[in-house]
Amino acid sequence: MGLKPNSALKASKTLFVLPSLFTFLLVGSQGENTAMDNVATERRAEESHRQDSANLLIFIMLLTLTILTIWLFKHRRFRFLHETGLAMIYGLLVGVILRFGVHVPRNMNNVTMNCSVNASPATLLVNVSGRFYEYTLKGEVSTVKGHDVQDDEMLRKVTFDPEVFFNILLPPIIFHAGYSLKRRHFFRNLGSILAYAFMGTVISSFVIGLVMYGCVTLMKAVGQLGGDFFFTDCLFFGAIVSATDPVTVLAIFNELKVDVDLYALMFGESVLNDAVAIVLSSVLLHYEKQSRQARHGHGETTALVEEQGIPPSSIGAYQPAGDNSHTFDATAMIKSFGVFLGVFSGSLALGVATGVMTALVTKFTKLRDFPLLETALFFLMSWSTFLLAEACEMTGVVAVLFCGMTQAHYTFNNLSPDSQDRTKQLFELLNFLAENFIFSYMGLTLFSFQSHVFNPLFIIGAFIAVFLGRAANIYPLSFLLNLGRKNKIGSNFQHVMMFAGLRGAMTFALSIRDTATYARQMMFSTTLLIVFFTVWVCGGGTTPMLSFMSIRVGVDSDQDSSVTVSDGTQHRNTKHESAWPFRIWYNFDNTYLKPLLTHSGPPLTATLPACCGPLARCLTSTQAYENEGHQHNDDSDELVLNDGNATMYGDVTVSTDASGTLTTNHKHLSASTMGITSEEALDQELAFGEHELVIRGTRLVLPMDDPPEPTMTLPPPPTSPPPFSDPFSDPFSDPFSDPRRNRL
């Protein structure tokens, strides 16, 4: 399923961090007679390497400058401009300098030759006086428009292959977003988040697409349109500018500690709609490509298929029925929607699968004694998700997002405290570098990009469309959601969500991926302006907006529940506001998945039906029994201190209130009941819900720095067997397992 939105020519060199570096290792005997050629080639190669280093140095200097300025801003508590906005400004300045200050004329060592090949092959063997050289296709060179900018070697050199963004820079950003998701609040608002992210993004794409189609039609009437611009292009534009950015606003939200529900809604929406937008836009591209192919006749397609050795079915399946590609074709669209679902769920499944595998590996080995090994494993497994998805022709970025969420939800609990810090810090750093790199490149590109098409009418239309699209996403959906939600999304929340829908890295990466046609160039230039505007104006205006809308700030996310408890009417809603699918999931996760994949949760021996006893014993780690029983070791500390998911479990097991009275561990009861019928369990769960929450409210008032050891003195549940001692997994039986001694 070839769904990657590559344009024909640019994609010819799909670059990649290391695979791009896989190259032909030179062999063959080398005669002395060509020594002069070699010296010349070598010198050129050295020169090119030297210049590449110098160019990369520019970016590193830019980032260094950004870091120093960010520090100054943070130090002085300036909040009107976020670091990403700053990175853009610096990029802009360097772009101006490169464009107008430096002019390195292009080194014309190229040799032009005519040849009789009918297509441009990816690899070319050139016979130079009896010796064969291999050449790879870099791309088409525009000879029609004689831009003088084009000849500028410097500008040409600082321009990256757009695939760099998808294959190198976006994955760490998206993984970090998934890994740092505050899961408790995310899950509490899951329904609303999914609605905004899926339905909202689709609505927004269509609204923007329609408005832009109107705009383009107007432009054509006025005679302002310099090239083709089809309806599919409009929809594509809608899809790429519908991806909101989780970075800038949320950094501010985080710093100001705004209301956790608002935070969760915005963060969840912006993270997930990136995934939706990327799959949606690739489906649209695919749709367009297939219809283009269809229009060129089946004969040619079959020829292609045979030439490439690709089974015809894999192409035929998505061929739209109609012949004219650029008119809207409902059947093809529905088919494409099927593809969308397939790719999305496939990527999701891959991401979750590698996450689960990592969790199992970290649970059943004692890798936690060696934080370096553990961190390396974690990093490699997370990276392999991306590669696996790309190798299966799914969307790597989407897989990475769900892998990050799974890693955070399960694997994180199995890591040693040292590795927890290391992995968090590693991805934080990678995210920071990648993000600032993208934003400074964005600034640079406004001047260094060589074929901008700025059309005032289109730009104005796009700004209006983006505004309308966002409004059509937020307000109607909020209204519908409020019908179902007990904890309403207030109108001030809606206004902030409307206002703070910034466009960032994903929008940029999607729009720069293909800039081959006039339509795409105009889209790219306009997108750049939209990103600049939203980051500077909306991003900068977020703090005033929050105070204007009188949104609560300074809320500690962990104490939020207790705040909710105090007003008496909302405290029941935390669990109830979620729809039943979530509640089933929540129970299933807590009783089966968490115990299976992590050291936390009740032992599987307690939750699985009796017939699975031996299996359950194999899969339950000794820590789980210890968590259950009287012993208090490091892991139980960890269990309580981890934010988010541990607290979720904490809701259930650590259910003694501050006064020290012991409540029954009702979750276990409900869990073992659930072995019989899940309906009953749910009822029970709901019945206990209220009681539970009051307890949690009380517990959470305690300062979190003080691990509630006394609350761990629960009696073992009646169904749990005596902890059996596995010499392999017991941390106390192995004298060599002391992490201090064996640390690498």
CA distances from 518 to 29, 230, 233 (A): 48, 11, 11
Show contacts with a second copy in window 299-338 (CB under 8 A).
Answer: 300, 304, 307-308, 310
Q: Per CB under 8 A, does 727 bind a second copy?
A: no
Show contacts with a second copy in window 483-522 (CB under 8 A).
Answer: 515-518, 521
CB of 479 to a second copy, least distance (A): 36
Q: Per CB under 8 A, does 726 bind a second copy?
A: no
CB of 285 to a second copy, least distance (A): 10
Please choose, out of 51-59, 475-483, 591-599, 700-708, the segment that lies near a second copy by the rule CB under 8 A: 51-59
Closer residue to a second copy, CB minimum distance, 410 or 586: 410
- What is the C-alpha separation between 502 and 563, in angstroms, rounded? 30
Query: Which position among 391, 537, 687, 694 is part of the footprint of a second copy (CB under 8 A)?
Result: 391
Here the tokens at position 506 are 């994903």
Query: Which position among 134, 306, 323, 726 is part of the footprint of a second copy (CB under 8 A)?
Result: 134
Q: Per CB under 8 A, does 168 bind a second copy?
A: yes
CB of 56 to a second copy, least distance (A): 5
CB of 668 to a second copy, least distance (A): 33
CB atoms inside a 10 Å sphere around CB 248 = 26
- What is the C-alpha separation between 454 and 202, in angstroms, rounded? 27
CB of 57 to a second copy, least distance (A): 5
Show contacts with a second copy in window 3-22 (CB under 8 A).
Answer: 4, 6-22
Tell me the site size for a second copy, rule CB under 8 A.
Answer: 165
Please choose, out of 162-170, 194-202, 527-535, 623-631, the segment that lies near a second copy by the rule CB under 8 A: 162-170
Region label for 77, one of left (φ > 0), alpha (ψ between -120 and 50) or beta (otherwise): left
- What is the C-alpha separation between 451 and 453, in angstroms, rounded? 6
Binding mask 209-248 for a second copy (x = CB under 8 A): ------------------x---------------------
Please choose, out of 229-237, 625-633, 644-652, 735-743, the segment that lies near a second copy by the rule CB under 8 A: 735-743
- What is the C-alpha separation between 315 and 313, in angstroms, rounded? 5
Closer residue to a second copy, CB minimum distance, 150 or 678: 150
CB atoms inside a 10 Å sphere around CB 452 = 16
CB of 511 to a second copy, least distance (A): 13
Please choose, out of 202-210, 291-299, 468-476, 660-668, the segment that lies near a second copy by the rule CB under 8 A: 291-299
For residue 125, the SS3 value is strand
CA atoms within 13 A of residue 337's CA, in its CB half-sphere: 9
Closer residue to a second copy, CB minimum distance, 406 or 450: 450
CB of 426 to a second copy, least distance (A): 7
Q: Which of 323, 261, 307, 277 is nearest to 551 (CA)?
A: 261
Q: Per CB under 8 A, does 289 bind a second copy?
A: yes
- What is the C-alpha separation between 269 and 497, in angstroms, rounded? 10
Query: Which position among 344, 447, 449, 625 is part of the footprint of a second copy (CB under 8 A)?
Result: 449
Please choose, out of 64-72, 477-485, 499-507, 642-650, the segment that lies near a second copy by the rule CB under 8 A: 64-72
CA distances from 633 to 368, 628, 642 (A): 15, 11, 15
Q: Per CB under 8 A, does 428 bind a second copy?
A: yes
Closer residue to a second copy, CB minimum distance, 53 or 659: 53
CA angle 606, 611, 617 (to 5 degrees): 50
Show contacts with a second copy in window 403-422 (CB under 8 A).
Answer: 421-422
For residue 124, the SS3 value is strand
- What is the C-alpha separation between 267 and 244, in angstroms, rounded? 10
Closer residue to a second copy, CB minimum distance, 299 or 718: 299
Query: Which position among 152, 161, 589, 628 is part of the footprint of a second copy (CB under 8 A)?
Result: 161
Angle, helices 371-391 vs 396-406, to 10°: value is 150
CA distances from 401 to 235, 262, 349, 728, 731 (A): 25, 21, 11, 34, 33
Please choose, out of 33-41, 194-202, 330-338, 487-495, the segment that lies near a second copy by the rule CB under 8 A: 33-41
Please choose, out of 178-186, 196-204, 387-395, 656-664, the segment that lies near a second copy by the rule CB under 8 A: 387-395
Q: Per CB under 8 A, does 153 bind a second copy?
A: no
- What is the C-alpha separation between 463 and 454, in angstroms, rounded? 13
User: Is residue 704 exposed (0-12), middle (13-18) or buried (19+ Cβ within 10 Å)?
Assistant: middle
CB of 164 to a second copy, least distance (A): 5
Stated length of the chain: 744
Show contacts with a second copy in window 71-130 (CB under 8 A).
Answer: 71-72, 74-75, 77, 109-129
Buried b / exposed e along 383-394 (16+ C-beta atoms within 10 A):
bbbbbbbbeeeb
Binding mask 568-597 for a second copy (x = CB under 8 A): ------------------------------
CB of 152 to a second copy, least distance (A): 12
- What is the C-alpha separation between 281 and 512, in angstroms, rounded? 13
Q: Per CB under 8 A, does 553 bind a second copy?
A: no
Strands (E), 245-305: none
User: Is the CA virtual torsion 553, 559, 564, 566 positive or negative?
Assistant: negative
Please choose, out of 257-265, 443-451, 482-490, 571-579, the segment that lies near a second copy by the rule CB under 8 A: 443-451
Location of structure tokens 């432009």: 219
User: Is the CA virtual torsion 649, 362, 423, 418 positive or negative?
Assistant: positive
CB of 434 to a second copy, least distance (A): 11
CA angle 647, 572, 555 (to 5 degrees): 55
Residues 6+ away with beta carbon under 8 Å from 543: 79, 80, 252, 256
Please choose, out of 56-64, 199-207, 556-564, 597-605, the segment that lies near a second copy by the rule CB under 8 A: 56-64
Closer residue to a second copy, CB minimum distance, 12 or 633: 12
Q: Per CB under 8 A, does 68 bind a second copy?
A: yes
- What is the C-alpha separation between 242 and 205, in angstroms, rounded? 6
- What is the C-alpha separation between 68 and 403, in angstroms, rounded? 33
CB of 324 to a second copy, least distance (A): 12
Query: Which position among 188, 335, 366, 668 is part of the footprint of a second copy (CB under 8 A)?
Result: 366
Query: Which position among 302, 664, 733, 742 is part of the footprint of a second copy (CB under 8 A)?
Result: 742
Q: Per CB under 8 A, does 298 bind a second copy?
A: no
CB atoms inside a 10 Å sphere around CB 414 = 28
CA distances from 651 to 103, 456, 583, 679, 696 (A): 64, 56, 14, 21, 6
Q: Per CB under 8 A, does 145 bind a second copy?
A: yes
